[in-house]
Amino acid sequence: MLALGKLLELTLAGREPTEKIQLTAGGVRLHWLAEGALEVTPAADADNGLDLLLSAGIHGNETAPIELLDRLLQGIARGELKPRARILFLLGNPEAMRRGERYVENDINRLFNGRHGDASGPEALRANELEHLAAAFFARAGRQRLHYDLHTAIRGSKIEQFALYPYSEGRTHSRQELARLRAAGIEAVLLQSKPGITFSAYTYARLGAEAFTLELGKARPFGQNAVVNLDRLEAGLRSLVEAREQSPGDDLEGLQVFAVAREVIKHSDHFRLNLPDDIENFSELPLGSLLAEDSGGRRWTVEESGARIIFPNPKVKNGLRAGILIVPAAF
């Protein structure tokens, strides 16, 4: 197998490859761009016009998606997987991956769309670099642009595999893209209603890509992901890479759709989230219950019928989101 197919191994070892460009026997070009960044270009007569960005490891302890991308890239390097799309593989936070931690100083996935300019440290520099790498990759005109940013969650979830679909003024969400995700095993989608600061929000709003954050189960260390079943997603990605997928159409039957009702923002060290520490994502919340409280008399009471909570985390830094209230939505 070509050495560049071992991107994960190189990244975890903190090594830069001697050869930056290699070709497979089938004429597929592998190009190492930066730490944790590798571009795959199909043979000239095989290119189908899709630019596909696959990112994982934005949080260094979310290893199942990293292992999935590693399998795909090794398949390409061995000549077993024959891409017809251009692909950019990005391992988002190499230092956090090496430490087995979510992040080093700052959560990278809160530093996009200009936020890295207001921060310092390694994550701010890396967020800036990731933006530049994505922008350069998606710079070619007249091509389809698609970005999947793969994650696993801090906690368990009543709906294990779900997508977050960013918002950008003037754009509409695509039924066809949602149908593609449904066919790949995604059970639910959360439609965002305002601009975000995540990696997928950046590529969606600034680069014109169809982009999604995919949550794929609970975070576990490398080698302990047997219980995270990504078979359907992996099969879908392989079909997408090789342009073998059947048209997904616009059938969303079985896909649960939610919309953001409110975000709960932590303002001070006095913030209190009135939920059990082990509460799962998508847990339903009793109408009228006191969800959270903070200094200055701030209170969040559940006013929405059918409300659920996702990403509850009272330990975030002040000024950041400590949870999202969501409600069922039609699409």
Q: Is 315 exposed, middle or buried (0-12, 13-18, 19+ CB in 10 A)?
A: exposed
DSSP letter (8 states) at residue 157 = B
Report the side by side order of strands in the sheet with 298-301: 272-273, 290-294, 298-301
Distances (CA, A) of 66 to 60, 90, 97, 105: 9, 9, 9, 21
Q: Contact at 8 Å (CB) between 28 and 72?
A: no
User: Does 151 count as an annotated binding residue?
Assistant: yes
Alpha carbon separation from 191 to 110, 112, 167, 259, 308 (Å, rounded): 18, 19, 7, 5, 14
Element (H, E) at 176: helix 175-183
Residue 98 has a CB neighbour count (10 Å cut-off) of 14
Indicate the helix (H) or strand (E) that contains 27.
none
- The rounded distance, in Å, linking the Cα atoms of 240 and 77 is 17
Give the residue among 231, 228, 167 at the shortest CA–CA distance from 200: 167
- The answer to whether 96 and 106 are in contact (CB under 8 A) is no
62 is in an annotated binding site: yes
Query: Which uninterrupted H or E stretch holds 5?
Result: none
Instruction: Answer yes or no: is 267 a known binding residue.
Output: no
**What are the distances in angstroms from CA 127 to CA 39, 109, 116, 233, 291?**
18, 8, 6, 26, 32
> 115 and 205 in contact (C-beta within 8 Å)?
no
Angle, in degrees to the nearest 10, between helices 231-241 and 63-78: 40
Active centre residues (catalytic): 215
**DSSP SS3 for 271:** coil
Binding residues: 59, 62, 151
Binding residues for Zn(2+): 59, 62, 151
